RNA sequence: UGGGGCGUCGCCAAGUGGUAAGGCACCGGGUUUUGAUCCCGGUAUGCGCAGGUUCGAAUCCUGCCGCCCCAGCCA
């Protein structure tokens, strides 16, 4: 990037984090070097909110010719598991980012962190406290009242050192002792009121095993880990803003090899979605969804299984921008990003998800007519595939209506429509069962309209998709809607639980048919079912014997809008 | 009632004293063998509110109001 591009007068388009990074470079900080990191705690699966952070951190490194590390923030052995460290790496790679040989763990630094804790004690900046957790809380004061010094605060340095060594040696039970920084119990920022640095936890750690029974807190581990790795910009979310003074205090009081700068941005919220790991974990554990990768989950693995592409997710993350304003992004923007990505490249096929028979009564018995269907009208180089037409078809149940309203372009008795690629057909009658439900639509076709055009210039407004009953392959379709009925799932009464707002219609399973060419192609990438939406083979449940498709997103549907507006106006 | 942040169109978001970018959504219209895509056009006399400074303010000053975060030995 040239000086012109980074100058203070030409920063239009740069978000505030990039602006800060550019200014630091211009000021010559870190010799112009830019080094970021993505620091997940392995206590859950990554979600779309993490994607925002990943795109930001890896994106900034890329933009400024730097690199980005992956570092697991694994300082709390009681909540962290290897399943999560594996899934996290998997998801980041799938998004298309590469940390190369820079995979780290905060636990890699436990020995160094321990030495730095000793350093703080020797310098008189930390002490071992014997107050209980409850007492510490009482002594801490409140936001409006200052706290009080612990009676152990001014104990001799040698005594704290000895106790700290014995904490490590395992002489004490969980919670009996704790190492605290000695800062200021009257500080207006509660994080500066002698914060905890090391606590006793006799727990097995997923990487260090039983080597340790004391573990550093987030505050004592994060900034120093950044410094060890030479991180120049430590980008995190807004709730850590209050921790920045402590982050800087520790960097100032320790002989660390570099001085990273913490910058905070607003985390992502999405309408109709919960994003907290705690809540997502509950959805999984209590069986409201089928796992972390359930296609309704906002997790990266859920979105992938749903049919979202890395490109769509990344485009979405760039489009929403980065700021410090708490915001909730419209789910429609995520959906738009997927359609935008898929439209030019997803192959088109026909599928009928809710089939009703359509019989062409004047079709020559046993005749099969083959048509060439374009794989993608947006891309002529995508080629074509063949689709068989017969007099025995399936069409979408919702494409027929008794006494249709104005502007209905589809089937109804006396109506003529085009069957995509094939012929014009006119509906002459329907067959019903005892309940009056339509079981078969009867039509006649016009042989002159082969290919879908009428030589007499006759126009038809509607074009329907269809599948031959003699050739169609059975398939299951899983249609998804938002997991929650309310735009803000957390906007509930004091006595309600967020799970009360779960959408009972979040998943609808339908049995239908697909055209034979698709069954043979078995593509792994999402396809577009004409007029329906983008679908992908379910990575878990679909097999050649039993095809299962997940609906990633519908197509924009202006007919649905007409219906909706009409209803609202009545 | 302490400290730290944030308030620009329905949802995001540029803008950093010279007279309100862009995207999504929405509303019109055109093209169309997907009511899709694509293409045109429309939508903030206004930047939380009230004062003030200035030739000129979303941008500076003052005072209010609203929302978010902090009293884990979670991150």
For residue A199, give the nucleotide whose C1' atom is nearest its CA: B73
For residue A242, give the nucleotide whose C1' atom is nearest its CA: B4
Domain A3-270 and domain A348-472 have a common topology: no
Residues with Cβ within 8 Å of A348's Cβ and at least 6 positions away in sequence, in order, are A373, A374, A375, A376, A377, A527, A528, A529, A530
Which pLDDT tens digit goes with each residue over A458-505? 999 999 999 999 999 999 999 999 999 999 999 988 788 999 999 999
As a whole number of angstroms, the distance between CA A128 and CA A204 comes to 23
Domain definitions of chain A by residue range: 3-270, 281-308+327-342+476-514+538-564, 348-472
pLDDT of residue A11: 32
Q: Report the topology of domain A3-270.
A: Rossmann fold (3.40.50)
Distance from CA(A240) to C1'(B4), angstroms, rounded:
10
pLDDT of residue A492: 86
Which one of A18, A25, A37, A41 is the catalytic residue?
Answer: A41
The torsion region of residue A244 among left (phi > 0), alpha (psi -120 to 50) and beta comes to alpha
For residue A188, give the nucleotide whose C1' atom is nearest its CA: B3
For residue A16, give the nucleotide whose C1' atom is nearest its CA: B14
- Domain A348-472: which CATH number of 1.10.1670.10, 3.30.1360.70, 3.40.50.1370, 2.40.240.10: 2.40.240.10
As a whole number of angstroms, the distance between CA A334 and CA A312 comes to 8
| Long-range contacts, A504-508 (Cβ 8 Å, 24+) | A505/A481, A506/A296, A506/A480, A506/A481, A506/A482, A507/A296, A507/A478, A507/A479, A507/A480, A507/A481, A508/A478, A508/A479, A508/A480, A508/A481
Comparing every residue's Cα with the C1' atom of nucleotide B11, the nearest one is A330
Comparing every residue's Cα with the C1' atom of nucleotide B67, the nearest one is A326
ipTM of the complex model: 0.97
A41 in active site: yes
Distance from CA(A227) to C1'(B69), angstroms, rounded:
26
What's the predicted TM-score (pTM) here?
0.96
Chain B bases near protein CB atoms (7 A cut-off): 1-8, 10-16, 22-27, 33-38, 67-75
Q: Report the topology of domain A281-308+327-342+476-514+538-564.
A: Ribosomal Protein L25; Chain P (2.40.240)
Distance from CA(A503) to C1'(B65), angstroms, rounded:
36
Which one of A33, A267, A450, A540 is the catalytic residue?
Answer: A267
How do the pLDDT tens digits run along chain A, 570 residues long?
332 222 222 235 799 999 999 999 999 999 999 999 999 999 999 999 999 999 999 999 999 999 999 999 999 999 989 999 999 999 999 999 999 999 999 999 999 999 999 999 999 999 999 999 999 999 999 999 999 999 999 999 999 999 999 999 999 999 999 999 999 999 999 999 999 999 999 999 999 999 999 999 999 999 999 999 999 999 999 999 999 999 999 999 999 999 999 999 999 999 999 999 999 999 999 999 999 999 999 999 999 999 999 999 999 999 999 999 999 999 999 999 999 999 999 999 999 999 999 999 999 999 999 999 999 999 999 999 999 999 999 999 999 999 999 899 999 999 999 999 999 999 999 999 999 999 999 999 999 999 999 999 999 999 999 999 999 999 999 999 999 999 999 998 878 899 999 999 999 999 999 999 999 988 899 999 999 999 999 999 999 999 999 999 999 999 999 998 888 776
Beta strands A438-445 and A355-360, pairing class: parallel
Which one of A277, A348, A418, A478 is the catalytic residue?
Answer: A277
A459 in active site: no
A277 in active site: yes
Contact A211, A205 (CB under 8 A): yes
pLDDT of residue A4: 28
pLDDT of residue A6: 28
């Amino acid at each position: 990037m040239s000086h012109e591009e980074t100058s203070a007068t030409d920063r239009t388009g740069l978000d505030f984090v990039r602006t800060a990074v550019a200014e630091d470079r211009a000021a010559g900080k870190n010799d112009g070097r830019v080094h970021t990191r993505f620091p997940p705690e392995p206590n859950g699966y990554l979600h779309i909110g993490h994607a925002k952070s990943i795109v930001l951190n890896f994106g900034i490194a890329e933009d400024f010719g730097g690199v980005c590390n992956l570092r697991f923030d694994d300082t709390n052995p009681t909540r962290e598991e290897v399943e999560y460290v594996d899934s996290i790496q998997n998801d980041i790679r799938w998004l298309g980012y590469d940390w190369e040989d820079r995979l780290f763990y905060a636990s890699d630094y436990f020995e160094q962190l321990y030495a730095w804790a000793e350093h703080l004690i020797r310098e008189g900046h930390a002490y071992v406290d014997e107050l209980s957790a409850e007492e510490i809380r009482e002594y801490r004061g409140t936001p409006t009242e200052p706290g009080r010094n612990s009676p152990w605060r001014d104990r001799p340095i040698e005594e704290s050192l000895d106790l700290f060594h014995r904490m490590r040696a395992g002489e004490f039970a969980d919670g009996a002792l704790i190492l605290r920084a000695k800062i200021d119990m009257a500080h207006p920022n509660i994080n500066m009121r002698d914060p905890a640095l090391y606590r006793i936890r006799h727990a097995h750690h997923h990487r260090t095993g039983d080597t340790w029974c004391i573990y550093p807190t987030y505050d004592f581990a994060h900034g120093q880990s950044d410094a060890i790795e030479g991180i120049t910009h430590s980008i995190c979310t807004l709730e850590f803003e209050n921790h920045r003074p402590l982050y800087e205090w520790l960097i100032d009081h320790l002989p660390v090899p570099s001085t990273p700068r913490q910058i905070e941005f607003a985390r992502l919220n999405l309408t109709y979605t919960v994003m907290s790991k705690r809540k997502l974990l509950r959805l999984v554990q209590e069986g409201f969804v089928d796992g972390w990768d359930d296609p309704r989950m906002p997790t990266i693995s859920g979105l992938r299984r749903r049919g979202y592409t890395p490109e769509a997710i990344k485009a979405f993350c760039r489009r929403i921008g980065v700021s410090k304003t708490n915001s909730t992004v419209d789910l429609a923007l995520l959906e738009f990003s997927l359609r935008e990505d898929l439209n030019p490249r997803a192959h088109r096929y026909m599928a009928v998800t809710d089939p009703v028979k359509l019989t062409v009564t004047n079709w020559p018995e046993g005749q099969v007519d083959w048509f060439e269907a374009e794989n993608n009208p947006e891309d002529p180089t995508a080629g074509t595939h063949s689709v068989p037409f017969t007099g025995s078809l399936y069409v979408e149940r919702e494409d027929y209506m008794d006494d249709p309203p104005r502007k209905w372009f589809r089937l109804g008795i006396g109506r003529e429509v085009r069957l995509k690629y094939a012929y014009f057909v006119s509906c002459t009658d329907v067959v019903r069962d005892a309940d009056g439900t339509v079981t078969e639509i009867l039509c006649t076709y016009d042989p002159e309209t082969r290919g879908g055009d009428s030589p007499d210039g006759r126009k038809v407004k509607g074009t329907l998709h269809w599948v031959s009953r003699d050739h169609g392959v059975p398939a299951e379709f899983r249609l998804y809607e938002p997991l929650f009925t309310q735009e803000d799932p957390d906007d509930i009464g004091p006595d309600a639980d967020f799970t009360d707002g779960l959408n009972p219609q979040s998943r609808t399973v339908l049995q239908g048919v697909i055209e034979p060419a698709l069954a043979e192609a078995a593509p792994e990438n999402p396809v577009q079912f004409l007029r329906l939406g983008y679908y992908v083979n379910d990575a878990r449940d679909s097999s050649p014997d039993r095809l299962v498709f997940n609906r990633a997103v519908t197509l924009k549907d202006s007919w649905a809008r007409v219906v909706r507006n009409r209803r609202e106006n009545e």
